[in-house]
Structure 1
């Protein structure tokens, strides 16, 4: 789990811009949904888009989607919400298992493949929430600062 505390509830909606793109079946589709949401926010708000912040948001969405596909039985829901100065990305999957980092090396000291996605999400995102779903599975919701 992330070192920051995680809350059990889903993200509260505050009337900010909400987007429910089609459920991505590939990480590239999640990346495009984030790019569209951030670009629209910058266009409507007349603010400058921070390229590094956009890159962080795209990477987080890609990692969450990849993890849902590889470890969670597939993406069951996907949301991108512009919330104030940040972007909330929520990805649901079929697994009840909580995300966990994988050691970078095995017991013999050899580097392992994979296992870097969750630490990347935890480093770039704020307000990381993992919620169980009534029908089974979980929703991971994170806030990525855009400034």
Structure 2
């Protein structure tokens, strides 16, 4: 009894790529096409659909788009994003976490730089007005995802 559904397996693989953000959305069709070609050639060699799928997935992992993903996935920035939005990432959740982590890094850099550069300077209070207030406003606007800017 052969209960392996090749189409479902390919769809599950593509879904995994999307869910884990392993590849840019623009490249998913290309990888799916490579996978299908690989499966077809394995089936032509006489393998079952299940074996062909398994071999094709193992082979496609060497594709540059996926091979380089491990390097990207293990970067500190991506670890921080995962920490912010957890393992259950949706595209919207991932984008928001990316903005939050970026904002956090920018704020930390601004505070450290101002502490180092300004120190005990008598005009350091103006730093708050001319640097931190605009930075705070831009942070608020960028985090407010429901705000739409209409240019007429």
Please report the TM-score for the alignment, with normalisation by the length of structure 1.
0.26
Looking at secondary structure, tell me which structure has more strand per residue: 1
Looking at secondary structure, tell me which structure has more helix per residue: 2
Please report the TM-score for the alignment, with normalisation by the length of structure 2.
0.26
Higher Rg of the two aligned structures: 2
